[in-house]
Amino acid sequence: MKNQRISSELISENNEAALKHLQEDYDHLSTVLSRQNIDIEAVTTQAQAFEIAVPSWGVGTGGTRFARFPGIGEPRNVFEKLEDCAVINQLSQCTGSVSPHFPWDKVDDFTELKAFSDSYGLQWDSINSNTFQDQADQALSYKYGSLTNTDAATREQAIAHNLECIEWGKQLGSNRLTVWVGDGSNHPGQQHFQHSFERYLDSMKTIYSAIPDDWELHIEHKMFEPAFYSTVVQDWGSNILAAMELGDKAKSLVDLGHHAPNVNIEMIVSRLIQFKKLGGFHFNDSKYGDDDLDSGSIHPYQQFLIFNELVDAEARGQEGFNPSYMLDQSHNVTDPIESLINSAIEVQRSYIKALIVDRAALSDCQERNDALMASNTLKQAFNLDVSPILAMARYRQGGAINPLQTYRQSQYRAQVAEVRPSVAGSGSGIV
């Protein structure tokens, strides 16, 4: 029997009150979809199977380099973060795994941590290493880089941290390591572009050699920040080159916020799929840069177009296609639990809309060069409100038809605030 953070009676009561209207909306949508020869039940089954991981650091209030305004009842350690992640999954039924960040989430006893996550039925997603900041007990500084540092001993230290992350991941039952480094430069001439990338590849080769055969090594690129002139792994080009150099277990990870504004991310996704190098995603949204805003809050059409590529690859049975999905957001003015529930559902929504695209019609338009009708074919799916499918998928799995309403009624935040005193520095600040 799984531990539950929200009373199942409350969820049932709220669901009973909402079910009549949901069923009416669902039946209507079923009729609409049947006109396109789509069986709503098949789509709902796929919605039920959809999973997106939650980042452990996402349940703490984020912040900017100017300030962090703590929320109430913030989790103070990885166990409390897991409690909040359990709430998100209980209500949304699509976030059954948690991605940890080390050493932020480091514990003395990983067996205890695994038992705790098991008690909530949560799995461990990709392990994130951290060599972008100095830790209190650290011998050598990453001020001038980690895996690419000009000093060999500093590179060794950064490699060793990634190796210990793999060991911790094994104990948690994870099967992936995600490496993001902020290494780069702030001044033209500060760093030799080729030599720094060579040092990166050398370091990553050592890490790659410790990746178990049934694991993947995900490389995350980011255009800028914290380095503001050049970043060593700055875009998908450097990323895929590194992944190709390392081997089959190395793949590229796409964080939506890590590109220049207006970059065609869905096309990058297509290229990575074609060359069997799409490892996974960090979903979030942005207006300017790596804003880490809630998924689907600014560019829902872009998110849908990305899923259009993913569903297309799935439908074609593209070889080597098995990307992992995760949120990577910073919540500065909202309750992180609410934002993460909302965001997970928004990503799920993009997936479902992409599933109902009429692919035969789209392909026909492409062959005939009918640009307008091709675009309209995508828009037809995007404009359809698939909320009843998402709500029904949650309901059938024991989640909440109206998750935010149920969460607020549960008074969860006020309850945890009683046992989690407010500490200005609590939670994980996001860099």
Residue 80 touches which of ligand PSV, Mn ion, none (Cβ within 5-8 Å per kind): none
Closest approach of Mn ion to the CB of residue 431, in Å: 8
Interface residue list for Mn ion (CB under 5 A): 255, 282, 290, 328
Q: Which is nearer to ligand PSV, 222 or 420 (CB)?
A: 222
Out of Mn ion, ligand PSV, none, what residue 120 binds, judged by CB under 5 to 8 A for its kind, is: none
Name the binder of 285 from ligand PSV, Mn ion, none, CB < 5-8 A by kind.
Answer: none
327, containing H or E segment = strand 324-327
Contacts of 92 (CB under 8 A, 6+ apart): 341, 344, 345, 394, 399, 400, 403
Residue in the structure block whose two tokens are 């979903």: 283
Residue 200 amino acid letter = Y
Binding site residues, ligand PSV, CB under 6 A: 57, 128, 180, 220, 222, 255, 282, 290, 328, 430-431
Least distance CB 311 / ligand PSV (angstroms): 25
Q: Closest residue to ligand PSV, Cβ-based?
A: 180
Q: In 162-299, at which residue ranges do the beta strands (DSSP E only) sit?
A: 176-179, 184-185, 216-220, 230-231, 250-255, 278-283
DSSP codes of every residue in 30-56: HHHHHTTT--HHHHHHHHHH---BEEG
| Least distance to ligand PSV, CB of residue 112, Å | 24
Distance of CA 302 to the CA centre of its chain: 16
Q: How far is the CB of 253 from ligand PSV (least distance, A)?
A: 8
Helix, strand and coil in the chain, % to nearest 5: 50, 10, 40
Nearer Cβ to ligand PSV (101/394): 101
Cα–Cα distance between 4 and 119 in angstroms, integer? 9
CB nearer to ligand PSV: pick between 74 and 220: 220
Beta carbon of residue 431, minimum distance to ligand PSV (angstroms, whole number)? 5
Quote the CA–CA distance of 75 and 83 in Å, as a whole number.
8
**Contact partner, 382, from Mn ion, ligand PSV, none, Cβ < 5-8 Å per class:** none
Binds 353: which of Mn ion, ligand PSV, none (CB < 5-8 Å by kind)? none
Minimum CB distance to ligand PSV smaller for 128 or for 295: 128
Structure tokens at 67: 């300030």
In the complex, what is the shortest distance from the CB of residue 132 to Mn ion, in angstroms, rounded to a whole number? Answer: 10
d(C-alpha 129, C-alpha 107), whole Å: 14
**Residue among 309 and 328 whose Cβ is closer to Mn ion:** 328
Q: Which is nearer to ligand PSV, 285 or 314 (CB)?
A: 285
